[in-house]
Amino acid sequence: MKQRLTQVPYDRKRLGQDLAAGGIAAMSMLPFALAFGALAGIGMPAGLIATVGAGFLSALVPGRVPYFAGPTCIVFLVFSACAGRYGMPVALTASFFAGMLVFAALLLRADRLLQFIPAPVASGFTIGAALVMTILQTNNYFGINATGVSAVEMLLSYRSFGFHANWRTVLYGTIVLVLMITYPRKFKKLHQKIPAQFVSLVIALGLHLCLVPSAEKSPVLEAGAFSHALSGSGGILFGGFTVAPAGGLILSTSAIALSILVCSGVSRGAQEKQAPHAILMGVGNMLLPLFGGMPVGAAQEKGEQATRVAPLFSSVLMLAAILLLGGVFERIPLSVLAVILIVTMWEKLDFQALKTVFGGKKLAQILLLFLCAAATVFLELPYVMILFGIVTLYMALRMWMRQKR
């Protein structure tokens, strides 16, 4: 059985390496799984179904997958925008069909087209996405109770509600903000073993439980009951596919598929098999929505020494944590989860690419960067992803025509 799972002799050393890798991945991905589900409005189980399910699927996929799969910030933003605009059943149905598109795209190596994206476009999109995450989650950081699907709608909602901040919500969020920024820099080696997001979550949640032991008397917004928003239907598998509105479903499917490719479609060497990658990202994203799970991408790199058993250990550890501490996780302040996502999104910026753009002192590239950032903020993200795909195809076609000459 062990050799069937790993295809190499499996000894105590490898077991220890997989346990360590799985434990670190569990501590790293659990806060994100909770945050993505709770802040998407579908409930924490949606993020956990995706993360835990992806781990189990990774252990079954033949061949080696060099990363831990789970929901990512970009996929979360696009999925949330689709769910907010067209409804959660449509978003889950779109995720299923997006899995089909991703499977075909990865097998055909269409992900290699991403290398043609100019640095100003990629950097502008990332900056814009970070601004969108900040605008949307500032609501939870201050405890304002504003509403809005897009960044523009949320800004207008802030204007209506006003900034009447809840000081305790801000306190928890600020503690997480300081820890997320300083901990990885002050304790680099420890951060590699016990990630900053896990430390921040434990400290902020512990403080909250000490100050407010009873959920009924809590003055802050909490993650709430550990239940799925579609618990009555049980996801697509029991609730059925939702294909109306057709235009919204097509747009959502395309946008979610592109977001998965952006997060996971890294061009790989010819010697590395593409099939395991396609199966996990394609078939995996077809199976997870059936049970109410969010779409997933490549969430975290996996060490060279870790085998496919490592994601299995990671999923088991997260599942055990939920079964033992589910009631405790319900008490997590939303501001804690919001700040974790905000800081993580800003950490995705490629500062080397920004240095190249601004260092070149080419006005056209700088203007293109700001234009892409502004478009990402002021347009709804599903439309931005479609534009991103069009630009990718245009740049690839342009490069192909140059080579033909």
334: left (phi over 0), alpha (psi -120 to 50) or beta: alpha
pTM: 0.90
Burial of 206 per CB tally in 10 Å (0-12, 13-18, 19+): exposed
CA atoms within 13 A on the CB side of 266: 13
Q: Are 220 and 143 in contact (CB under 8 A)?
A: yes
Q: Are 63 and 313 in contact (CB under 8 A)?
A: no
> 69 has which bridge partners?
298
pLDDT digits (tens, 9 = 90+) for 190-228: 999 999 999 999 999 999 999 998 888 888 888 887 766
Q: What is the mean pLDDT of residues 110-134?
A: 90
Burial of 157 per CB tally in 10 Å (0-12, 13-18, 19+): middle
Per-residue confidence (pLDDT) for residue 266, from 0 to 100: 53
Per-residue confidence (pLDDT) for residue 241, from 0 to 100: 72
Nearest-angstrom CA–CA distance, 175 and 173: 5
Assign 2 a pLDDT band (cuts: 50, 70, 90): very low
Lowest mean per-residue pLDDT among 196-210, 353-367, 381-395: 353-367
pLDDT at 237 over 80: no
